[in-house]
Amino acid sequence: GQNIDQPTEMTATEGAIVQINCTYQTSGFNGLFWYQQHAGEAPTFLSYNVLDGLEEKGRFSSFLSRSKGYSYLLLKELQMKDSASYLCAVRDDNQGGKLIFGQGTELSVKP
Amino acid sequence: DVKVTQSSRYLVKRTGEKVFLECVQDMDHENMFWYRQDPGLGLRLIYFSYDVKMKEKGDIPEGYSVSREKKERFSLILESASTNQTSMYLCASSVDRIETQYFGPGTRLLVL
């Protein structure tokens, strides 16, 4: 089967750094995606990891360890507009390449 | 820019009505998907399509059907709407099975 876990909610301060973790168990892993979703809006793509290591994109970085079934999304220099839900999704090739989504982590950035 | 559009942002229907949700993408993507999103449950895949006139069941297809007559358009149909189908419905598309999925703005459906 498959299982994706991420914290339900987190709070951080403007200007700080926050790390959102995601653990997964899936038999046909072939890539992990992070999406950002503001309230009432569609998810927007942030990052993609398929090999172990860190992918950096401006203030956002994403890390993957396939042996540990673990990823994190790192947000630096937090801004108020970063308050959103962050969705971790895993592609499972044993299910035709479908994306399996976690429940999302609701991040609140406080002044 | 990838553009995925959905026919309505908000929709209110009555139990038993037939409901059509339309999704259109303008990037010539092969793959299209319908999800629903509910608090505490995340995004769940209803149906997807890898080509015109082709459809595959997702994780929760019961109570839904789909149609893909043209490459750019993927329709979700609720044959007889029920209150437990009140949800946010999200359409997505991708170039192929490997590439990133891009989402439309969502349709918030309320079934009374």
What confidence tens digit (pLDDT) does each residue in B16-58 have? 999 999 999 999 999 999 999 998 888 999 999 999 989 999 9
Alpha-carbon span B3 to B5, nearest angstrom: 6
Query: pLDDT, tens digit, for every residue of B47-72?
Result: 999 999 899 999 999 999 999 999 99
How many Cβ atoms sit within 10 Å of the Cβ of residue A50? 14
- Do B97 and A87 lie within an 8 Å CB cutoff? no
C-alpha dihedral sign at A34, A38, A39, A41: negative
| Residues of B (82-101) whose Cβ lies below 8 Å from A | 90, 97-98, 100-101
Q: Which residues on B lie below 8 Å from A103 (Cβ)?
A: 40-42
